[in-house]
């Protein structure tokens, strides 16, 4: 999943801006931590839990167990959301690199020294 942006810029100098933006996007995707997806999953689970507590008649004896289950569900949803966020970022990175490789090939070629018009 590697791509040499520097070589691509040398081979396709007219596309410098697009390649530079792609490099910045790739860097963000490579270092994604999944925090936004984890936070969204935490918020959704917490809201669903609070809605469930409000919608049912109070059961004071079972309340500590429900709260414990809600906290556990929120923590589990957060962890799974974080993992899903990282996985999705890696998938987007792979798609980005594959697209760059297809549009701007940089594989070693014997005619690398030729001017683009001389090919």
Domains of the chain, by residue range, sit at: 35-107
Secondary-structure breakdown of the chain: helix, strand, coil percentages, each rounded to the nearest 5 = 75, 0, 25
The pTM (predicted TM-score) of the whole model is 0.77
Counting residues of the chain whose pLDDT is more than 70, the rounded percentage is 89
pLDDT higher than 60, residue 42: yes
Helices (H) and strands (E) in the chain, counts: 4, 0
Q: How far is CA 28 from CA 8, 33, 41, 64, 81, in A?
A: 19, 10, 21, 41, 18
User: Is-contact 85 32, C-beta < 8 A?
Assistant: yes
Query: Each residue of 93-118: pLDDT tens digit?
Result: 999 999 999 999 987 655 455 545 44
């Amino acid at each position: 999943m590697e791509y040499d942006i520097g070589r691509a810029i040398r081979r396709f100098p007219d596309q410098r801006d697009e390649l530079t933006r792609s490099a910045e996007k790739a860097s963000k995707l490579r270092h994604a931590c999944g925090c936004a997806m984890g936070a969204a999953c935490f918020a959704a689970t917490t809201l669903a839990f609070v809605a469930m507590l409000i919608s049912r008649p109070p059961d004071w004896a079972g309340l500590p167990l429900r709260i414990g289950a809600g906290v556990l569900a929120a923590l589990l949803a957060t962890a799974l959301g974080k993992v899903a966020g990282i996985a999705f970022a890696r998938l987007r990175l792979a798609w980005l690199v594959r697209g760059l490789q297809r549009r701007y090939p940089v594989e070693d070629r014997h005619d690398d020294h030729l001017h683009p018009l001389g090919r």
